[in-house]
């Protein structure tokens, strides 16, 4: 493509949804590329949820098919003294799950840059990683320390912004960062239970409604959990973007209509 053309960019539904909160044109010129990157990551998080939903539906059919038709189960008789569980390990499902948590953490990293540069354009904060803050090591600690100690007194929303970020860190961000760290540093989600079913009767007799869907220990059904996190991301963006200098909120959808 030559340089003397006017690009006309059209986007899919996930990007259209994320642009409601992160429309690059609403941000100062120096932040527009970061806003676009953040919107793309938010859209990818939404698409990851779609991958998870489709994968679970497909896996359910495949799992039932294998239980009823796999030759390895021929002649299997349940033994109450030796309980067995069949587990379905799915790469499409793993792709959606890992993409969701890695992308969400990456989105937080980019958003930390937007926050800091909106307040102090020369800042170099680019991470929502862990650091000690008020004597406790937490996700987003580096950004919170910077907000508390380094921003100019002319910025009037410091305490409110810190309060909002802390509330979201406590509510969901710490969990998401831990899950992402499990994937990156340990290769898998330690708290994930994959699709499974106890083999308490002949596999051929097991029905769909007996299959236990994937879940995160302590969080419940993983699809519903990811949907909840996606809603929380929107809420965090709506609460924080309005506090940033020089953002044209008229170009954003920050309130329900």
Report pLDDT for 257: 40
Residue ranges in the chain whose pLDDT is less than 70: 1-2, 256-257
pLDDT of 7:
80
Cβ 189 vs Cβ 216: under 8 Å: yes
List the one residue out of 121, 170, 123, 122 whose CA is nearest residue 142: 123
pLDDT in tens, 189-244: 989 999 999 999 989 999 999 999 999 999 999 999 999 999 999 999 999 999 99
Q: DSSP letter at 184?
A: I
Residue-level pLDDT at 10: 84
Burial class (CB in 10 A: 0-12, 13-18, 19+), 182: middle
Q: What is the pLDDT of residue 101?
A: 98
Closest CA to 21 of 5, 36, 1: 36
- Residue closest to 28 by CA, chosen among 194, 246, 253, 249: 246
């Amino acid at each position: 493509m030559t340089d003397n053309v006017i690009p006309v960019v059209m986007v899919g539904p996930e990007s259209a949804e994320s642009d409601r909160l992160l429309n690059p044109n609403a941000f100062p010129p120096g932040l527009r590329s970061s806003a676009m990157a953040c919107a793309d990551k938010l859209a990818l998080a939404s698409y990851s949820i779609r991958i998870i939903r489709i994968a679970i539906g497909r896996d359910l059919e495949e799992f039932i098919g294998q239980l009823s038709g796999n030759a390895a189960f021929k002649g299997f008789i349940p033994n109450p003294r030796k309980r067995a569980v069949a587990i379905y390990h799915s790469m499409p499902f793993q792709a959606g799950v890992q993409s969701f948590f890695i992308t969400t953490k990456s989105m937080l990293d980019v958003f930390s840059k937007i926050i800091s540069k909106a307040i102090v354009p020369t800042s170099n904060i680019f991470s929502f990683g862990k650091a000690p803050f008020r004597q406790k090591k937490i996700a987003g600690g580096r950004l919170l320390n910077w907000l508390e100690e380094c921003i100019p007194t002319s910025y009037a929303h410091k305490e409110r912004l810190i309060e909002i970020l802390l509330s979201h860190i406590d509510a969901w961000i710490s969990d998401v960062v831990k899950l992402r760290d499990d994937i990156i540093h340990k290769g898998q989600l330690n708290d994930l239970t994959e699709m499974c079913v106890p083999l308490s009767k002949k596999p051929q007799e097991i029905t769909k409604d007996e299959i236990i869907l994937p879940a995160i220990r302590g969080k419940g059904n993983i699809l519903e959990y990811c949907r909840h996190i996606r809603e929380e991301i929107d809420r965090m963006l709506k609460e924080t973007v309005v506090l940033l200098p020089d953002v044209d909120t008229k170009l954003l959808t920050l309130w329900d209509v």
